[in-house]
Amino acid sequence: MNETPLVQLDRVCVQFGRQPVLRDLSLSIHRGQTLLVIGESGCGKTVLLKLIVGLLRPNSGRVLFEGKDLQEHSPVELTQVRRRFGFLFQGAALFDSLSAYENVAYPLRALHNLAEPEIRQRVLDRLKEVGLDEAAANKMPAELSGGMRKRVGHARALALDPEVMFYDEPTTGLDPVMTEVISNLIQQTRERRPVTSIVVTHDMKTVRRIADRVVMLYPLARLDPSASQIIYDGAFAGLDLSRDERVRGFVA
């Protein structure tokens, strides 16, 4: 691909206190890709997401979106960039005091000056897109199952018609049936929308189902100082054929 990557990490290092998490990490993500980031706990997967969204700044290196370093954006410009993102958090991160409907409506009210009938139509459309009806829309988060909360979170992330979707462990804590439902929703979102997807997960069934590309990170604490933190970057089919026993062991 010759076009400028949508997202690019250029020799990024992140350290919390004395604890390094990412070291000299370089990665390019092109528009329209579905990238699955896998690896053990503590290898920096969620930190990677937060860097791309601009919630964290690297200690060194650059994070670029459409060729421009996020650190060169003004606060107003960074807010505009983030409006192009949708984020499904690990625990859905719904507002407990708001109904499912109001959770999905929240970003529309906060970031747009839309008439209430337009908000209502968009909210119901997004809930329908993730398989929830109007009865579910009126329920509070405490009345919803874990899978339904994830679907409401997904609908809220889609409310602003994002160009990039971020998923942080979207199937964690779900039973196999609901894991399949959420994986299907991620796949359907990609098929229905011109969206770039970046998914952090431990679930290999999800990886097998939706990945265009898989990147596997390895914890720095167990790496030689000169070794790359990315120990696999390629198609899902190549994971089983990797000569790296760390990759094969994780997949197995």
Instruction: Dump pLDDT digits (tens) for 22-38.
Output: 999 999 999 999 999 99
Distance CA 60, CA 251 (A): 31
Give pTM, 2 decimals: 0.88
- Give me the pLDDT at residue 2, please: 57
Lowest mean pLDDT among 158-167, 175-184, 215-224: 175-184
CA–CA gap between residue 86 and residue 189 (Å, rounded): 12
The CA distance from 154 to 165, in Å, is: 10
E runs forming strands in the chain: 7-16, 19-29, 34-38, 60-65, 68-69, 85-88, 164-168, 196-200, 213-217, 230-234
* Mean pLDDT over each residue of the chain, to the nearest integer: 90
User: Can you tell me the mean pLDDT for 136-164?
Assistant: 91
Residue 170, pLDDT > 80, answer yes
In the chain the domains, ranked by start, together with CATH numbers, are: 7-251 (3.40.50.300)
Give the pLDDT band of residue 69 (cuts 50, 70, 90): very high
- Each residue of 195-207: pLDDT tens digit? 999 999 988 888 9
